[in-house]
């Protein structure tokens, strides 16, 4: 008797399954028709590939990468303002005494639209102001530490041991001032940075800048651009979240650097990037002469890509053959897509 | 009236204390001196062709501004609703136009205005199933396979159970208790896992405790009330309670299957389905254990059996629906908590039934071995579910 009932129950169950199972066999064909809705999907697809980058704009009131790129010795400031930070005094031997007033201060800076970074800065900017002298000049820097940690200024170049700013007793304590003085040499592209321990902290927080020593016999005229490849660890995990040339992610993508056709362009390129082993510079549609550290007259390479470790720098010289837009970026794609990308706009 | 006012006095004083603290207390120490605490919880990701939709909630004490978004370490433009800034406990939605790749693991990073990052992985990128008739039937079918049919198959043990002696019947009931304790503890461990997946502000542990005791005591009260009614047969009632407890548990299983499908871990889903199928046959056994002696005439009790089967297995379908297209860890946790409460209530009823008001008979060798074998059965069948 039970067998009969069991049979009935089983049949009922099987029927239920069959009735419910039917639609699932049509699933695949339905899916295909769903996929062929051409207009919207194509639009979305195109948009998806063109949507890399950041949203919004950075406030450039305090720091404008376009201004930084072409400024040295505070020549971007009006004369009355400039003399607070920089003075030139001709010396008897025909060289100049160049005097600078620089201070270390904490400042929140905008490194990508809407992203604030609690930086340690020289004169409230990252990179710090560019110091530029001719070989043989005397550089004198009155450095005041207005930050909340000891800091120092350590210059690459020839200088006496007591001007090195690197040992423990050479740290400038909070509120104190130290004057660095040395002859500008050798000719080349150098840098300065804080040399207080932990070093990675003081550098990644923003305490670095460019130091250019021009040869006594001037370089040939060119459009000169200063570019510092840097990055920012915004969440303190010892990795950079934002990469850039001159601090602001993707800035030169939205604000292309304007140059003229066949004009000589000279790029002073410095790599200060913390945490990552290397950085690189690649230019589209063009080649450049590379002068490593800018110390010698002969170029070291004629190429379109160079790779640099931290602290390495090169002078690049190039001319654009064609008008239009040409990208430049780190040929380490991760850095490029995290902000270290820019654009030249070549005008006739 | 006076009594009420007297009772309210401490509350009024507490209110005044709070007002005084906010205006004059050392609040400044808690504010301002420390950097803001930013917390963002990403609840759900849905994928459409070239689109990533992200539901998020600010579950920290301060407001959060999402300044930029990275997908796989690339900055990507995005839209955020209602705005890029979220107040505490405010929810938002981020839409990213990104050419994600089917089958890849996609990695989303949110960068706040203070530079903090919040990350979310999409383990296997597949288009999120859309809610439609076909989707519902597919999942209903899955639910039937996993819940309803296996439970019915288990019910078919009824004729065999009927011939058992009193002693073996108790063995069987103990085995049922073992099955249920295992299910309850398993659900409990799942619930603990889920606590980590829900926004901290919702207090997962609190939800678990509330859900558990709410369902436990509600069902205890209902069953007490029912026992007082003379019309209700204790054994039948117990079967229904077991079916209900198992049903609530199966709701959780359905959720697991549906959400595994929705987040693209389909292969895991298939294993889950197979595992639950085997698992659930034993549940049918548990349901009919109390009524084995009673249901002697199949014809008159077929209605009961169908209802019991549906009560225990049906919720799998509902769970699979919810899990498939509206999965929220928070709701899953609440369902689980209710299910655990229900299961332990049933265990309590079973123990009472086996003991027949004399606790001494409870721990006989037969009962103890039944209980332990019940646990072992679920452990072994559960091994299939990875």
Domains and CATH numbers, chain A: 65-347 (2.60.40.420)
Structure token digits, residue A177: 């001032």
- Do residues B52 and B96 lie in contact, with contact meaning Cβ atoms separated by under 8 Å? yes
Size of interface A-B (CB pairs under 8 A): 118
Q: What is the pTM of this model?
A: 0.76
A106 in contact with B, Cβ within 8 Å? no
CA-based nearest residue in chain B for residue A23: B134
Q: Which stretch of DSSP H or E encloses residue A121?
A: strand A115-122
Contacts of B140 in chain A (CB under 8 A): 20
Contacts of A338 in chain B (CB under 8 A): 70, 73-75
pLDDT tier for residue B167 given thresholds of 50, 70 and 90: confident
Mean pLDDT value across chain A: 90
- The bridge status of strand A96-112 relative to strand A138-145 is parallel
CB contact under 8 A, A112 and B68: yes
Structure token digits, residue B278: 């085997």
A53 in contact with B, Cβ within 8 Å? yes
Per residue, the 3-state secondary structure of chain A, as one string, reads CHHHHHHHHHHHHHHHHHHHHHHHHCHHHHHHHHHCCHHHHHHHHHHHHCCECCCCCCCCCCCCHHHHCCCCCCCCCCHHHHCCCEEEEECCCCCEEEEEEEEEEEEEEEEECCEEEEEEEECCECCEEEEEEECCCEEEEEEEECCCCCECCEECCCCCHHHCCCCHHHCECCCCEEEEEEECCCCEEEEEECCCCCHHHHHHCCCEEEEEEECCCCCCCCEEEEEEEEEECCCCCCCCCEEEECCCCCHHHHCCEEEECCCCEEEEEEECCCCCCCEEEEECCCCEEEEECCCCCCCCEEECEEEECCCCEEEEEECCCCCEEEEEECCCHHHHHCCCEEEEEEEC
Structure token digits, residue B171: 């063995």
Instruction: Name which of A27-36, A269-278, B104-113, B262-271 the model is least confident about.
Output: A27-36
| pLDDT at A8 > cutoff 90 | no
Q: What is the CATH number of domain B41-122?
A: 2.60.40.10
What is the Cα–Cα distance from A2 to B155, expressed in whole angstroms? 13
Structure token digits, residue B155: 């019910």
Name the residue among B48, B73, B299 with its Cβ closest to that of A338: B73
Contacts of B113 in chain A (CB under 8 A): 114-116
The verdict on whether omega for the bond into residue A127 sits within 30 degrees of 0, i.e. cis, is yes
Contacts of A52 in chain B (CB under 8 A): 74-77
Query: pLDDT tens digits, residue range A50-70?
Result: 788 999 999 999 999 999 999
CB contact under 8 A, A234 and B138: no
Provide mean pLDDT across the span B110-139: 84
| pLDDT at A76 > cutoff 80 | yes
Query: What percentage of chain A carries pLDDT values higher than 90?
Result: 84
CB contact under 8 A, A5 and B298: yes
CB contact under 8 A, A51 and B76: yes
Query: pLDDT tens digits, residue range B292-301?
Result: 777 776 666 7
- Do residues B187 and B252 lie in contact, with contact meaning Cβ atoms separated by under 8 Å? yes
E-state strands within chain B: 41-48, 51-57, 64-71, 74-76, 78-81, 85-86, 91-96, 106-112, 117-122
End-to-end alpha carbon distance in chain A: 99
What per-residue confidence (pLDDT) applies to A19? 60
A116 in contact with B, Cβ within 8 Å? yes
The verdict on whether omega for the bond into residue B82 sits within 30 degrees of 0, i.e. cis, is yes
Read off φ and ψ for residue B171, nearest 5 degrees: -55, -45
What per-residue confidence (pLDDT) applies to B313? 83
A54 in contact with B, Cβ within 8 Å? yes
B117 in contact with A, Cβ within 8 Å? yes
What per-residue confidence (pLDDT) applies to A43? 58
- Do residues A339 and A288 lie in contact, with contact meaning Cβ atoms separated by under 8 Å? no
pLDDT tier for residue A29 given thresholds of 50, 70 and 90: very low
CB contact under 8 A, B298 and A2: yes
CA-based nearest residue in chain A for residue B145: A17
Interface of A with B in 32-51 (CB under 8 A): 41, 44-45, 47-49, 51
User: Testing the interface with A: which of B97, B139, B142, B145 to mutate, by most A Cβ within 10 A?
Assistant: B97
Name the residue among A27, A114, A339 with its Cβ closest to that of B67: A114
Mean pLDDT value across chain B: 82
Instruction: Sheet containing B51-57: give its strands across.
Output: B41-48, B51-57, B91-96, B78-81
What per-residue confidence (pLDDT) applies to B198? 84
A45 HSE (CA, 13 A, CB side): 8
B149 in contact with A, Cβ within 8 Å? yes
Q: What is the DSSP letter of B287?
A: H
- Do residues A110 and A116 lie in contact, with contact meaning Cβ atoms separated by under 8 Å? yes
A159 vs B250, residue with greater confidence: A159
- Do residues B107 and B71 lie in contact, with contact meaning Cβ atoms separated by under 8 Å? yes
pLDDT tier for residue B333 given thresholds of 50, 70 and 90: confident
What per-residue confidence (pLDDT) applies to A27? 39
CB contact under 8 A, B113 and A115: yes
CB contact under 8 A, B77 and A337: no
ipTM for this prediction: 0.80
Interface of B with A in 48-67 (CB under 8 A): 48-51, 65, 67
Q: How many C-beta atoms surround the C-beta of residue B186 within 10 A?
A: 19
Rounded to the nearest angstrom, the minimum Cα separation between A89 and chain B is 44
E-state strands within A287-332: 288-292, 301-303, 305-308, 313-318, 324-329
Rounded to the nearest angstrom, the minimum Cα separation between B98 and chain A is 5
What is the Cα–Cα distance from B139 to B259, expressed in whole angstroms? 11
What per-residue confidence (pLDDT) applies to A205? 96
What is the Cα–Cα distance from B43 to B30, expressed in whole angstroms? 29
Contacts of B77 in chain A (CB under 8 A): 51-55
What per-residue confidence (pLDDT) applies to A38? 40
Question: In 3D, which of B237, B265, B234 has the Cα closest to residue B327?
Answer: B265
Q: Which stretch of DSSP H or E encloses residue A47?
A: helix A38-49
pLDDT tier for residue A33 given thresholds of 50, 70 and 90: very low
Rounded to the nearest angstrom, the minimum Cα separation between A120 and chain B is 15
A24 in contact with B, Cβ within 8 Å? yes
Instruction: Name which of A32-36, A335-339, B44-48 the model is least confident about.
Output: A32-36
Provide mean pLDDT across the span B102-131: 88
Residues in chain B: 386
Name the residue among A51, A56, A116 with its Cβ closest to that of B115: A116
| pLDDT at A312 > cutoff 70 | yes
Domain range summary for chain B, segments of one domain joined by +: 41-122, 133-382
CB contact under 8 A, B117 and A234: yes
| pLDDT at B262 > cutoff 70 | no
B140 in contact with A, Cβ within 8 Å? yes
A92 in contact with B, Cβ within 8 Å? no
Read off φ and ψ for residue B11, nearest 5 degrees: -65, -45
Contacts of A6 in chain B (CB under 8 A): 156, 159
pLDDT tier for residue A5 given thresholds of 50, 70 and 90: low
């Amino acid at each position: 008797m039970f067998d009969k009932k069991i049979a009935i129950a089983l049949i009922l169950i099987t029927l239920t399954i069959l009735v419910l199972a039917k639609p699932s066999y049509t699933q695949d064909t339905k899916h295909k028709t769903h996929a062929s809705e051409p207009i919207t999907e194509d639009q979305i697809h195109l948009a998806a590939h063109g949507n890399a980058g950041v949203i919004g704009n950075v406030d450039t009131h305090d720091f404008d990468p376009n201004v930084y790129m072409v400024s040295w010795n505070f020549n971007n400031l009006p004369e009355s303002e400039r003399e607070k930070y920089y003075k030139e005094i001709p010396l008897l031997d025909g060289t100049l005494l160049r005097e600078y007033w620089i201070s270390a201060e904490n400042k929140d800076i905008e490194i990508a639209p809407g992203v604030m970074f609690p930086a340690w800065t020289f004169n409230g900017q990252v990179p710090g102001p560019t110091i530029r002298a001719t070989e043989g000049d005397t550089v004198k820097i009155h450095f005041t530490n207005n930050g909340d940690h000891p800091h120092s200024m350590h210059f690459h170049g020839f200088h006496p041991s007591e001007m090195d700013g690197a040992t423990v007793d050479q740290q400038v304590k909070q509120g104190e001032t130290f004057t660095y003085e040395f002859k500008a040499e050798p000719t080349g592209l150098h840098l300065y940075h804080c040399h207080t321990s932990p070093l990675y902290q003081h550098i990644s927080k923003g305490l670095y800048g460019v130091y250019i020593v021009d040869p006594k016999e001037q370089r040939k005229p060119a459009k000169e651009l200063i570019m510092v490849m840097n990055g920012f660890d915004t969440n303190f995990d010892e990795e950079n979240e934002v990469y850039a040339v001159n601090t602001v992610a993707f800035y030169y993508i939205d604000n292309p650097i304007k140059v003229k056709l066949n004009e000589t362009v000279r790029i002073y390129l410095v790599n200060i990037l913390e945490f990552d082993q290397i950085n690189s510079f690649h230019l589209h549609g063009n080649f450049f002469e590379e002068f490593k550290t800018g110390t010698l007259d002969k170029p070291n390479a004629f190429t379109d890509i160079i790779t640099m470790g931290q602290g390495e720098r090169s002078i690049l010289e190039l001319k654009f053959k064609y008008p239009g837009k040409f990208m430049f970026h780190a040929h380490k794609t991760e850095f490029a897509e995290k902000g270290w990308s820019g654009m030249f706009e070549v005008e006739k | 009236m006076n009594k009420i006012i007297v009772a309210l006095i401490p509350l009024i004083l507490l209110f005044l204390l709070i007002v005084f603290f906010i205006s004059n207390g050392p609040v400044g120490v808690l504010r301002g001196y420390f950097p803001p605490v930013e917390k963002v919880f990403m609840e759900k990701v849905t994928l459409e062709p070239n689109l990533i939709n992200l539901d998020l909630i600010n579950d920290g004490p301060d407001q959060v501004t999402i300044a930029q978004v990275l997908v796989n370490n690339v900055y990507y433009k995005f839209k955020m609703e209602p705005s890029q800034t979220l107040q505490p406990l405010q929810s938002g939605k981020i839409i990213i136009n990104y050419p994600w790749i089917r089958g890849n693991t996609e990695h989303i990073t949110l960068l706040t205005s203070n530079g903090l990052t919040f990350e979310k992985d999409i383990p296997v990128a597949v288009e999120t199933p859309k809610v439609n008739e076909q989707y519902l039937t597919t999942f209903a079918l899955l639910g039937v396979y996993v819940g309803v049919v296996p439970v019915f198959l288990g019910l078919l043990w009824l004729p065999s159970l009927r011939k058992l002696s009193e002693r073996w019947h108790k063995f069987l009931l103990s085995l049922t208790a073992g099955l249920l304790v295992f299910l309850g503890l398993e659900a409990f461990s799942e619930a603990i896992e889920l606590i980590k997946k829900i926004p901290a502000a919702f207090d997962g542990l609190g939800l678990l405790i509330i859900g558990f005791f709410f369902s436990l005591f509600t069902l205890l009260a209902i069953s007490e009330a029912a026992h007082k009614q003379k019309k209700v047969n204790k054994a039948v009632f117990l079967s229904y309670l077991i079916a209900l407890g198992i049903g609530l548990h199966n709701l959780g299983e359905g959720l697991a299957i549906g959400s595994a499908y929705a987040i693209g871990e389909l292969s895991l889903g298939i294993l889950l389905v197979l595992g639950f199928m085997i698992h659930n046959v034993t549940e049918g056994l548990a349901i009919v254990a109390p009524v084995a002696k009673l249901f002697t005439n199949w014809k008159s009790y077929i209605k009961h059996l169908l209802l019991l089967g549906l009560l225990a297995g049906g919720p799998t379908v509902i769970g699979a629906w919810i899990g498939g297209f509206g999965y929220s860890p928070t709701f899953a946790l609440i369902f689980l908590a209710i299910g655990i409460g229900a299961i332990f209530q049933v265990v309590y009823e079973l123990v009472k039934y086996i003991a027949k008001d004399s606790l001494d008979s409870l721990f006989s060798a037969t009962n103890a071995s039944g209980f332990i074998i019940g646990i072992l059965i679920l452990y072994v069948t559960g091994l299939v579910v990875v």
